[in-house]
Amino acid sequence: MEDTYRHKGMRNQLVKQIAHKGISDEKVLEAVRAVPRHFFFDSAFTEHAYDDKPFPIGSGQTISQPFTVAFQTQLLEVQPGDKILEIGTGSGYQAAILAAMRARVYTIERHRDLYKKSQQIIDKMGFKRIQFFLGDGYEGKEAYSPYDKIIITCGAPFMPEKVLDQLKPGGYIVAPIGEGSIQEMQRWEKQKDGEFVKSSYGNFSFVPMIKGKH
């Protein structure tokens, strides 16, 4: 794995594009600039790594579009030291972006192959603040709860109840919610009394959140 000036140049272009599309949080843009997205691609496809598009990563899954990763990350308002639960590790790219922003990341994937592959890549990159779990995201990860922030990166038909219980008061959960091929990006903020204040941020299309491990 090599990160050349050419790759860095392409990343700078990508950052300009997503800034133009509405990402304004400089810390998010800095993380996209810092994390080599091509490390998450098979070597035959690395020329696609800096297009602002999703891309297949095997097991019928995709690495999310860079704009979408940045958009969800911006909604999380990540602070250094935040403890963040991610549901849907996939390639591991989103987890790397959060770790680059100095969050402590707990990430769950239901596909064994992706769980293994993402871990290998992240280990090679040297990130220390990411822990990987094979499991069903509908259960969350109670052992390490509560979390400051939670991010779901697959299309959830509804907000999973158990996961909501694992969020700290004052914390956010950001998730694409919807049953069909289109989901609505939602952010729910947990109040001190345990109630949620909900906001919506437009339509996106994710691979579905599926029950059980694979």
Q: How many CA atoms lie within 13 A of 6 on its CB side?
A: 5
Q: CA neighbours within 13 Å on the CB side: how many for 85? A: 30
Residue 32 interacts with ligand SAH (CB under 6 A)?
Answer: no
Stretch that binds ligand SAH, among 11-19, 22-30, 109-117, 168-176 (CB under 6 A): 109-117
CA gap 109, 21 in Å, rounded: 29
Q: Does 111 bind ligand SAH (CB under 6 A)?
A: yes
- Is residue 63 a contact point for ligand SAH (CB under 6 A)? yes
Determine phi and psi for 168, rounding to 5 degrees. Answer: -70, 145
Q: Under the criterion CB under 6 A, does residue 39 sit at the interface with ligand SAH?
A: no
Known catalytic membership, residue 64: yes
Rounded Cα–Cα distance for residues 183 and 58 (Å): 22
Find the shortest distance in angstroms from Cβ 29 to ligand SAH.
17
For 113-146, letters b (16+ CB in 10 Å) and e give ebbebbbebbeebebebbebbbbbbbbbbeeebe
Judged by CB under 6 A, the residue of 17, 51, 53, 62 near ligand SAH is 62
Instruction: Name the minimum Å distance from CB 193 to ligand SAH.
Output: 29
List all residues 6 or more positions away from 193 whose beta carbon is below 8 Å from its beta carbon: none
Residue 209 in contact with ligand SAH, rule: CB under 6 A: yes
Q: Phi/psi of residue 47, each to 5°?
A: -65, -15
Stretch that binds ligand SAH, among 2-10, 136-144, 177-185, 195-203 (CB under 6 A): 136-144
Contact between 50 and ligand SAH per CB under 6 A:
no
By CB under 6 A, tell whether 117 contacts ligand SAH. no
Q: How near is the Cβ of 102 to ligand SAH at its closest, in Å?
A: 18
Contacting positions for ligand SAH (CB under 6 A): 61-64, 87-88, 90-91, 93-94, 108-111, 114, 136-138, 153-154, 207, 209-210
What residues act catalytically? 64
